[in-house]
Amino acid sequence: MTSPDKSLYLVQSDYEKTLPILERIETIYSENDSIILMGEAVLHYMNQFLIEKSRIYILESELGLLNEELAPSHIKLLNSSQFADLVLEYNRCITFK
C-alpha cells in the first residue's frame, strides 16, 4: 500500500553531479523515504549520508560498477522485478539527473 508521507528518490546523475544532488536530498529526506542509486551515482555509495540510512538501493545489474562481489551492508540490491515493486509502493517518485 502506498503512503503519501514517503518519497522515492531515483538518482541517475553523472558522477560529478551526484554529490550536490545527495546534499539536496539530505535536506528533504525523511525516515520513510528510499533512495535508488543508478548509473554513475552508485559510485557515491560510501557517502556518509547514505551509510546512515536504512533504505538505500542499487540494481543488481550495476553492482559491477562498485568493483565488489557483494553489496556493502548499508546497500540493498534490487532485481528488475523488485525495482518495479518498490516503485509501486510510492505515490511520490522524484528523479534526479
Looking up residue 29, the CATH number of its domain turns out to be 3.40.1260.10
Q: Which domain holds residue 44?
A: 3-96
Under 8 Å between Cβ of 10 and 96: yes
For 38, other C-beta atoms within 10 Å of its C-beta total: 20
Q: What is the mean pLDDT of residues 13-28?
A: 96
Instruction: Give the pLDDT score at 66.
Output: 80
Using the predicted structure, report yes or no on whether residue 35 has a pLDDT greater than 60: yes
The per-residue pLDDT for 20 is: 97
Our count of domains for the chain comes to 1
Give strand ranges (E) for 12-86: 34-37, 56-59, 76-78
pTM above 0.75, yes or no: yes
